[in-house]
Amino acid sequence: MSGAATAQAGAGLSQAEALARLRRDGPNELPQDRRRRLAPIVWEALREPMLQLLLAAGGIYLVLGNRAEALMLLGFAVLNVVMVVVQEARTETALAALRELAAPRALVWRDGAQSQIPARELVAGDVIRLSEGERVPADAVLQEAAALQADEALLTGESVPVRKQAGGGQAARAEPGGEATAYVWAGSLITGGSGVARVCATGPRTAIGRIGHALGGVEAAPPPLQTQMRRLVWLFAAAGIGASLLLTVAYGLLHGHWLQAVLGGITLAMATLPEEFPLVLTIFLVLGAWRMSRRHVLARRGAAIEALGTATLLCTDKTGTLTQNRMSVARLAVGAETLTLTPETSALPETFHALVETAILASRPDPFDPMEQAFHALGRRSLAGSGHLHAGWTMARDYPVQPDMLAMSQAWPGTAPGTYLIAAKGAPEAIADLCHLEEPALAALRRGVAEMAAAGLRVLAVARGAHAGPDWPASQHEFAFTLLGLAGLADPLRPGVPAAVAACRSAGIDVAMITGDHPATARAIAQQAGIAAGAVLTGAEMARLDDTALREAVRTTRLFARVLPEQKLRLVQAFAANGEVVAMTGDGVNDAPSLKAAHIGIAMGGRGTDVAREAAALVLLDDDFTSLVAAIRLGRRIDANLRKAFSYILAVHVPVAGMALIPVLLGWPLMLGPVHVVFLEMIIDPASSIVFEAEPEAASIMSAPPRRPGAPLFSLGLLAGGVLQGATVLAAAMLVFALGTQGGGDESTGRAMAFITLVAGNLGLVLSNKMLGGGALAAIGRPNTALAMVAAGAVLALGLTLWVPWLRALFGFPALPAGQMAVALLAGLASMALNMAALGLWQARRAR
C-alpha cells in the first residue's frame, strides 16, 4: 500500500485548515456531560444524611434559643459542603485525566506527514489510516482498501463482517450495512485488512450520532469490594438509626426534655452513620486508578484494582513487553555462510543481498511490525543504490499468516509481463514446508535455527518463488519456493525486567511467558529475565492435549512457545481450573477472548488493538512488563490502605457513639452534643479518605503472598480489631470524664477533659491503624504529608476551643488548668500506646 498511501498522505489537510474546521464543526465526539458541574455536586452533598442531621440540629438549637451554637453547626454544615466539593473536584480531575488517557486515537495525515492524534480532533476532510482491530473514529469514504472488512453490529445489529472496497463502491447507498460499499462508519470495527479513508462526517453528524446512540465505555458490574461495602453500610446505618430512636425515646421518658432527647438522638445518629465508607471507596478507587495511570497503567474497571491484590500468575508475551520492541537484524545465514551484523553495518556481501531483498518484499511496504521495520531499516542502510530496493512497486496479491501456516507471502510484478515474484517469510518450519525440503537440507536448517535461537534471537526463514498467469492459487503452499536463508532478529530485554520478575516471585506471583517464537528463543529470553526456564510447551503440543491433560501440563510449565493467539484462551482456562488467579496480556483481535476470560485482562496500549483494549480491564500504556509489576504493587497498596481506612472508621465511631449512648444508659447528663461530633467528623473525614489514601506502602508489601481469592476485604478479624481499638479510646475517655467530675469538678469539666482525650485518641487511632501490615516504627516513620496537615489542623482547632472564650462557651467547656489538660492528653496517648502494643503483639503472633 506504500505508493498509494503516500499519495493519499499528500492529500491530507494542513494543520491550519484542520484547526479552522475543528473550531467550525466542534470536536469529533457525541454530546455528553464529561465533567460534573458544581451545582449537582452541592445538591448531592445536601442530600447526605449526615448534613441533614447537622442542619436539623442547628434548627433545634435555634428553637432552644441557643443562636451561637446554631450558627456554629450551620457553619460546620457549610464547611462540610466545601470539603465535599473539594474532594469531588479532586476526584473529577483524576477522572478527567483518565478519560484523556482512555480516549481513542487516530492515525492521520497532516501537512503531508503521519501522526497520531486524539480521535476527538478529527475533522471532515482528514485522511486516516484504518487497520485490523481498530474502531473507525468517524464516518469516512475509503480511498484504498486491502481485504478490508468491518463489523457494523453496533449500528445494524448484524454481527457478520461487511466487505469494503474503494472506488466503485461509492455508488452504493450511504447507509450502514450492505456489501462492497466504500463507506466506513464511526463505531464500527475493522475485523480484517487495512485501508486509507477520507473523513466525511464527525461527531453528531455521523450515522451513529444521527440515530442517537452513545459510544460509552464498557459497563461493568460493581466489584465485590463495593458489594461488601454496601452490606456494611446498611448494617451500620440500620443499627445507628435504631439506636438513635431508642435513645430519643428513653431520654425523653426518663428526663422529660424531649428537645434535648431529639438532640441526643441526632448526636448518636451522627456518631454512628457510616457516611465515610462510600466516600473512602470512591476516592481510593478513582485516585488509585489515577496513580496507576502515572505508572503507565490505565485501569478501565474498578474490579481490576481489587483483583490485583489476589493475582497469583502473570502470563506475559515476550516481544515489546519483556523486551524493548526495538528489533534489529543481528545475524544472517545463507547456506553454511553466516554474517553477524551491528547497528553500524552499512554494506553486505553480495551473498546476502537476495535474502535481505526478499525479506523486505515479504514485509508490508509501510510496516508497523517491528520485525518488518528492522528489515526495511537494514535495506536502507545496506542495499541503497544496489538495485535491490524496488521503490514504487505495487503489491499484486498477499497471503497472510494462517493458524496452520505460520508464514506470509506477497506477490510483486516480475520483469516480464504476466509474471510475478513471490516473497515469503515466516517460522523456519513453515518455510521449510513451503519449500518441500529434503531431510539433509531440513537438518541443516534446524541446526542453523537452533544456533540463532540459543543466542536469544527470533529466527525467520525467507524463501522466493515465481508465478505466471492471471489465476492465483488458493494457498501459498501451491507456489514453488526456494529457500534463501535465515534471519535472526535481536530484541533486547527491558532493563528492569529481571528485577520485576524477582519482585513477583517474592510476592508469591508466578510469571509465565507465552510467545510465538521458537522454543529455544523462548528459553534463552526466559533465562535472561529470570523466569523459570524448565520444560517448554509448544502450540503444536497443546493442540494434541485434551483439557484434562493440558491442566496437568500447565501446573509446572511456565514457558509456552509457538503459541497462536486463539490458544491463549485454553491456557487461561487451564490455569484458572487449577486455582490460579490469572493476569493475561494481549494485543490482537484474537486475544480478546483470553483477555475477557482472565481474571485480569491486560491489553497493550502502544501496539494493542481497540478490540483488545475494550476486552481488557487494564491497559499498559507503554507495553512494559515493569509497569505491570508497578501496578500490582499499587494494587496491593490500595488494598492494604483500604483495610487501614475501614478499620480506622470503625474504631473511631466506637468511642464517639459510646459517649453519646452510655450517659443515657447510666442516667448521666449528655456528654456530647452535635457540635462536638461535628468537630470530630472534621478530623475523621479527611483522615479516613485523604490521609490513608496517601499512605505509602510498607517495604514488605511485595514480600507477602497474594490475598486469598474470595477472602473478604473486611474480615471478622479486621472488624473485631477495629471495635477493640475504639473500645480502648472509649474507656480512656470515660475514665477521664469520671476524674473530671470529681474533686470539685462538674460535668462541663469532665466533658472538656473527655473531649481532649477523644481528639488525642482519634489521632492515635490513625497512627495505630497505619501499623496494619507493617511494624510500628516503620509505620510511624513512613512520611505522610496529609497526616501531618490533618494532625496540625486538629491540634490548632482543639487549642482554639480550649483557649478562646466564646468558642469554649459554644462547646460547653470551662477554662481548664494545665494539670487537667495534661491528664486528659496523657490518657489519649496511653490509649494510643495500648492499641499500638496490642497490634504489634497480634502481628508478631501472626508472623510466627
Task: Tell me the pLDDT tens digit for each residue of 219-252.
Answer: 334 455 656 666 666 676 677 677 777 777 777 7
Q: Is the pLDDT of residue 418 over 50?
A: yes
Taking the CA atoms of residue 179, residue 185, residue 189 and residue 190 in that order, the dihedral angle to the nearest 10 degrees is 60
Global pTM value: 0.67
657 or 48, higher pLDDT: 657
> Burial, 131: exposed, middle or buried (Cβ in 10 Å; 0-12, 13-18, 19+)?
middle
> Could you tell me what percent of the chain has a pLDDT over 90?
18
| 119-133, 154-168, 490-504: least confident range | 154-168
Q: Is residue 525 a contact partner of residue 561, using CB atoms and an 8 Å limit?
A: no
Residue 198 pairs in a beta bridge with: 127, 141
| 46-60, 294-308, 423-437: least confident range | 46-60
Chain centroid to Cα 537, Å, comes to 30
Predicted confidence at residue 94, as pLDDT, reads: 54
Predicted confidence at residue 343, as pLDDT, reads: 75
pLDDT, average across residues 121-139 = 86
Predicted confidence at residue 467, as pLDDT, reads: 92
Cell of 64: 432552644
Predicted confidence at residue 168, as pLDDT, reads: 46
Cα–Cα distance for residue pair 653/655, rounded to 1 Å: 6
Cell of 700: 514488605
793 or 99, higher pLDDT: 793
Q: Is residue 51 a contact partner of residue 76, using CB atoms and an 8 Å limit?
A: no
Predicted confidence at residue 214, as pLDDT, reads: 34
Q: Which residue, 317, 373, 801, 746, is CA-closest to 517?
A: 317
pLDDT, average across residues 82-104 = 59
Q: How many CB atoms lie within 10 A of CB 262?
A: 19
Predicted confidence at residue 434, as pLDDT, reads: 94
Q: Which stretch, 173-187, 377-391, 623-637, has highest mean pLDDT?
A: 623-637
SS3 (DSSP) at 728: helix
pLDDT, average across residues 434-457 = 91
> Could you tell me what percent of the chain has a pLDDT over 70?
76
Q: Which stretch, 34-38, 352-356, 367-371, 806-810, has highest mean pLDDT?
A: 352-356
Rg of the Cα atoms in the chain: 34
57 or 526, higher pLDDT: 526
Predicted confidence at residue 167, as pLDDT, reads: 62
Predicted confidence at residue 8, as pLDDT, reads: 44
Predicted confidence at residue 217, as pLDDT, reads: 35
Kindly report the average pLDDT of the chain as a whole number: 79
Predicted confidence at residue 173, as pLDDT, reads: 42
Please report the beta strands in 570-680, taking only residues with DSSP state E, as ranges in sequence order.
582-586, 600-604, 618-620
Query: What angle do the packed helices 747-770 and 785-803 form, to 10 degrees?
Result: 170
| 213-222, 298-307, 390-399, 609-618: least confident range | 213-222
Taking the CA atoms of residue 118, residue 124, residue 127 and residue 131 in that order, the dihedral angle to the nearest 10 degrees is 60
Predicted confidence at residue 781, as pLDDT, reads: 59
| Long-range Cβ pairs for the range 331-336 (8 Å, 24+) | 331/452, 331/455, 331/457, 331/486, 331/487, 331/488, 332/356, 332/485, 332/486, 332/487, 332/488, 333/448, 333/452, 333/485, 333/486, 333/487, 333/488, 334/484, 334/485, 335/485, 336/444
Q: Is residue 233 a contact partner of residue 180, using CB atoms and an 8 Å limit?
A: no
Q: Is the pLDDT of residue 270 over 50?
A: yes
Residues noted as catalytic: 317
Q: Is the pLDDT of residue 623 over 50?
A: yes
Q: Which stretch, 51-65, 252-266, 339-353, has highest mean pLDDT?
A: 339-353
Position 671 confidence tier, pLDDT thresholds 50, 70, 90: confident
Cell of 288: 488509585
Position 821 confidence tier, pLDDT thresholds 50, 70, 90: very high
pLDDT, average across residues 164-187 = 62
> Burial, 833: exposed, middle or buried (Cβ in 10 Å; 0-12, 13-18, 19+)?
middle
Predicted confidence at residue 553, as pLDDT, reads: 93
Cα–Cα distance for residue pair 302/283, rounded to 1 Å: 12
727 or 37, higher pLDDT: 727
Residue 468 pairs in a beta bridge with: 419
What's the chain's length in residues? Answer: 848
Position 213 confidence tier, pLDDT thresholds 50, 70, 90: very low
Which amino acid, residue 701? I
Cα–Cα distance for residue pair 283/301, rounded to 1 Å: 15
SS3 (DSSP) at 410: strand
Q: Which residue, 106, 105, 142, 138, is CA-closest to 124?
A: 138
Position 286 confidence tier, pLDDT thresholds 50, 70, 90: confident
Q: Is residue 523 a contact partner of residue 566, using CB atoms and an 8 Å limit?
A: no
Q: Is residue 405 a contact partner of residue 430, using CB atoms and an 8 Å limit?
A: yes
Cell of 40: 449537582
- Tell me the per-residue pLDDT of 599-615, one tens digit each, with 9 for 90 and over: 888 887 766 666 677 77
Predicted confidence at residue 399, as pLDDT, reads: 87
Q: Is the pLDDT of residue 813 over 50?
A: yes
Predicted confidence at residue 207, as pLDDT, reads: 76
Cell of 779: 509505620
Q: Is the pLDDT of residue 185 over 60?
A: yes
| 55-64, 290-299, 511-520, 673-682: least confident range | 55-64
Q: Is the pLDDT of residue 371 over 80?
A: yes
Q: Is the pLDDT of residue 481 over 90?
A: yes
Q: Is the pLDDT of residue 119 over 80?
A: yes
Buried b (16+ CB within 10 A) or exposed e, 197-218: bbbbbbbebbbbbeeeeeeeee
Cα–Cα distance for residue pair 583/567, rounded to 1 Å: 16
Q: Is residue 455 a contact partner of residue 524, using CB atoms and an 8 Å limit?
A: yes
Predicted confidence at residue 760, as pLDDT, reads: 93
- Tell me the per-residue pLDDT of 732-779, one tens digit each, with 9 for 90 and over: 999 998 888 876 668 888 889 999 999 999 888 888 888 776 655 555
Predicted confidence at residue 826, as pLDDT, reads: 95
pLDDT, average across residues 272-295 = 74
157 or 787, higher pLDDT: 787
What's 598's DSSP letter? S
Task: Name every residue whose Cβ is closer than 8 Å to that of residue 49 and which is 6 or more positions away in sequence.
Answer: 237, 269, 273, 275
> Burial, 100: exposed, middle or buried (Cβ in 10 Å; 0-12, 13-18, 19+)?
exposed
pLDDT, average across residues 647-659 = 84
313 or 192, higher pLDDT: 313
| 4-8, 165-169, 402-406, 537-541: least confident range | 4-8
- Tell me the per-residue pLDDT of 3-38, one tens digit each, with 9 for 90 and over: 444 434 446 788 888 899 888 888 887 655 455 566
